[in-house]
Chain A
Amino acid sequence: MSSVILVGTPNVGKSAIFNYLTGAYTTVSNYPGTTVDILRGRAKINKKSYEVIDTPGLYSLIPFTEEERVTRSLLEKEKADSVIHVIDTKNIRRMLGMTIQLIEAELPVILDLNVIDESKRLGVEINTSLLSEILGVPVATTSAIRKIGLDNLRNLIKNYKYNKPVVFNFSDNIEAAISNIITMIKHSYGFSLRTAAVLLISGDPIMHKRVEKEEQYFEILNEIKLLQECYQTSLNAVLALQRQEVVDRILNHVMTKQKQSNICFNEILGRYTREPLTGIPILCFVLYFGLYLIVGKFGAGFLVDYLDKNIFEVLISPTVEFYTNRYIEWDWLKSLIVGEYGIFSLGIRYAFVIILPIVGTFFLVFAILEDSGYLPRLAMLVDRVFKKFGLNGRAIIPITLGTGCGTMGVMVTRTLESKRERILATFLIALTVPCSAQLGVILSLLSHNDKSLSIWAAYIVCIFVLVGWISARILPGNISCFYMELPPLRLPLIANIVKKAWTRMFWYFFEILPVFILTSFVMWTLDYFGFLKNIIMNIGPIISMLGLPSDTAEAFLLGFFRRDYGAAGLYDLCSQGILSDNQLLVAAVTLTLFVPCVAQLAVMVKERGLVASAVMVLIIAGIAFLSGYFINWLLVANSIIL
């Protein structure tokens, strides 16, 4: 099957084009060896089917982050029939350089000038046929959101024919060095030899590592050194500047600009969201409205209740119980399905009733924030604060995602640049960030008592700050710099949001369902053979040191398998009226901080390695227990009753 790859910097509307080309059938898959998501979908153009691949944003061929590295190796390995470079037309001056790089790499490029409506409004006009002639590749103009020009893009994909690329020369001495290096390279390295040589001159570490094995690698290095002596700035900067000059020459021919300084509504709102005086209240509002009201109250409160009381208890549970009792004779199998720890009554029910609505509403809110372009502003506002924890503003994205699902949060730490930051963020997510399922259950447990809720929140924030501050000082290394593009605020498209949230929810659900089923199976086995009582008796004394009834041991044990599962266990205990408000607070704090769920643990091991994860888990268990002990002691010593 033919394949089409979409590339471009973030926020140029790649996913809108992807959605248009592929219709409803998309799959999210992890790129081999990494956990970076690659979206693949099927498109049909004139009865011929294509595989369309959406890639994470790429700023240049030399990658900065793991995600960019993935995009680059995808371009190298996947022999695509066409590579669509999607750019934001109003920023063509900044983006055309990469088009030239892609053409140079001998990739089958189609240039797509997207968001054409915005650039027209700003008075930027492009002569596309001339641009296409100069670059030697087809050029389309589209506005994916307004559905303009997309048919033309489809036609270009259908009729694509690869032509020998046009070469845009650098200055003579650089060109001489390039041709010298080309003669010294004996093997091929994915892209064209010219690109390999240019990447070597730019000092791309990936290419250097590969070419190291070449016999004449030393001569190549020498050639680069000689070239460097002609310039005062780094060769990479020289190449970038010369490439920009080429772009400017091209644009002189094809672009006309009318000066218009129309400040529109988006821009005003954009400014208010990034300036501290107005931005911080807006941030609080977004968090309160988005996370607390929609996810906490609506998802975790209303939807969970509704599903549990009106659907499961009335319709589904009785039906399953009825058929199990009717057709299954063995008692052990009955209890395995509908018993106290049954696969259905514990595993499937918890997954559907408690987790699905909470995670679903969270992903919906997150998709809105993502598509509206608000997240980078959030990152910018918190950058200074995060620097105190050895992180930069970029870490807000995995941490916010962590409040949805810790497992996903840990995966997304890949977007952070240094190993140190990835470790710090993983640790903070595992220790202090409650996932949406947990958050929902804890909110509903504590919300009847304002005092406990505020103590819980204050304590978790304190731990976050304290542990973040200390670990940033213990772990060696430097903070990496913060830079981020602030995209214009855009009204998100409902179809895109729903699709995104749906795909993620689907992925998440099938990721956790087996864990839930397995957990209930393990619990059932332990229970059936009487081990559970032993284990609970053994952790009993530790639990009672926290001033909790021994019944909570079960919730803690469940919590080890799935963090939210433990909180859900507390929910059951609470509805039976076993726990006092004091005990509830201690349990909530301990569980929030406690060792993450199995799924998150597995991802931690995969991402950070066994040793680092083991150390983190030990520290986390210690902090969780001590915190519970401390709060209980504080309450008892001052004889406070909440």
Chain B
Amino acid sequence: MSEILPVVLCRVGQIANVVEVRAADEAIVRKLAAFGILPGTQITIIQNSPAYVIRVEHTELAVDRIIASTIFVKKFQSCTDYNKLFYGSWNKFVTLIKRML
């Protein structure tokens, strides 16, 4: 049993399933649908400042606070450590730079 909450309240790295887009403005629903943000879609919240960045499949979508607060999701699993996943490759990056130099 997990609660339903808007994207603005999610932590970075959270994987979640979209439940619905609760926007008074129909245009927002339409826009998000065009980007594939529909009920049932799995998304990852990968950044929350200065804008919210949501990964849908292999696409990164940047939205502002207004839109991020209309997307309601259900947590899919506990936070994956996006940072760990990411900085694990930091070493790879450093070796790459070293090799280039």
Interface residues of A (CB under 8 A from B): 59-60, 62, 64, 88, 90-91, 93-94, 122, 203, 233-234, 236-237, 240-241, 244, 261, 263, 265, 268, 270-271, 274-276, 376, 379-381, 383-384, 387, 392-393, 481-486
Contact = CB atoms under 8 A, between A and B. Distances in A.
A62 B30 contact: yes
B101 interface: no
Nearest to B25: A481
A562 to B, nearest CB: 37
B5 interface: no
B7 interface: no
B58 interface: yes
B16 interface: no
A486 B51 CA distance: 12
Nearest to A95: B36
A58 to B, nearest CB: 9
Give the interface size bracket for B toward A: 35 or more
Nearest to B46: A271
Given A379-B62, A485-B59, 15 more contacts: A64-B30, A94-B36, A236-B29, A237-B29, A237-B33, A237-B38, A241-B38, A276-B49, A380-B62, A393-B51, A481-B25, A482-B63, A484-B62, A486-B60, A486-B61
Nearest to B60: A486
Given A59-B34, A91-B59, A93-B36, A483 B93 contact: no
A233 B29 CA distance: 10
A91 B89 CA distance: 24
Given A234-B26, A263-B86, A59 B53 contact: no
Contact of B53 (A88, A94, A236, A274): A274
B61 A481 contact: no
A268 B93 contact: yes
Contacts of A64: 27, 30-31, 34
Contacts of B36: 91, 93-94, 244
A94 B62 contact: no
A392 B47 CA distance: 18
B50 A380 contact: yes
Given A60-B34, A91-B57, A244-B38, A482 B67 contact: yes
Contacts of A203: 26
A611 to B, nearest CB: 28
Contacts of A268: 86, 89-90, 93
Given A244-B38, A275-B47, A276-B50, A60 B61 contact: no
A174 B55 CA distance: 31
B1 interface: no
A265 B57 contact: no
B35 interface: yes
A512 to B, nearest CB: 35
